[in-house]
Amino acid sequence: MTTILAVANQKGGVAKTTTVASLAAALHALDRRVLVVDLDPQGCLTFSLGHNPDKLDSSVHEVLTGDAKVEDVLIETAEGIVLLPATIDLAGAEALLLMRAGREFALKRALAPILEDFDVVVIDCPPSLGVLTLNGLTAAQSVLVPLQCETLAHRGVGQLLRTVSEVQQITNPDLALLGALPTLFDARTTHSRDVLGDVSDRYSMPVLAPPIPRTVRFAEASASGATVLSGRKNKGAQAYRELAENLLAYWDGTADLKTYDPAQ
Binding mask 32-61 for Mg ion (x = CB under 5 A): ------------x-----------------
Q: Which of the stretches 93-101, 197-205, 213-221, 250-258 binds ligand ADP when contact is defined by CB under 6 A?
A: 213-221
Please identify, using beta-carbon distances, which residue of 61 and 214 lies nearer to ligand ADP. Answer: 214
Binding mask 185-204 for ligand ADP (x = CB under 6 A): --------------------
Would you call 42 helix, strand, or coil by DSSP? coil
Q: Which of the stretches 14-22, 56-64, 66-74, 187-195 binds ligand ADP when contact is defined by CB under 6 A?
A: 14-22
Alpha helices in 49-122 (DSSP H): 60-65, 70-73, 93-98, 106-111
**Residues in region 221-260 near ligand ADP by CB under 6 A:** 222, 236
- The angle formed by the CA atoms of residues 173, 6 and 102, to the nearest 5 degrees, is 55
Binding mask 15-44 for ligand ADP (x = CB under 6 A): xxxx-------------------------x
Least Å from the CB of residue 160 to ligand ADP: 12
| 31 close to 46: Cβ distance less than 8 angstroms | no
Least Å from the CB of residue 17 to ligand ADP: 3
Least Å from the CB of residue 45 to Mg ion: 7
Q: Binding partner of residue 197 among ligand ADP, Mg ion, none, CB under 5 to 8 Å per kind?
A: none
Please identify, using beta-carbon distances, which residue of 13 and 231 lies nearer to ligand ADP. Answer: 13
Instruction: Tell me the C-alpha distance between 127 and 143, whole Å.
Output: 14
Least Å from the CB of residue 123 to ligand ADP: 12
Is residue 129 part of the contact set for ligand ADP (CB under 6 A)?
A: no
Instruction: Tell me the C-alpha distance between 229 and 21, whole Å.
Output: 9
**Size of interface with Mg ion, in residues (CB under 5 A):** 3
- The angle formed by the CA atoms of residues 39, 258 and 237, to the nearest 5 degrees, is 55
Burial 172-207 (b: 16+ CB within 10 A, else e): beebebbbbbbbbbeeeeeebbebbeebbeebebbb
Would you call 181 helix, strand, or coil by DSSP? strand
- The angle formed by the CA atoms of residues 140, 141 and 146, to the nearest 5 degrees, is 75
**Residues in region 8-37 near Mg ion by CB under 5 A:** 16-17
Instruction: Tell me the C-alpha distance between 198 and 212, whole Å.
Output: 18
The site for ligand ADP (CB under 6 A) is made up of 12-18, 44, 127, 183-184, 212, 214-215, 218-219, 222, 236
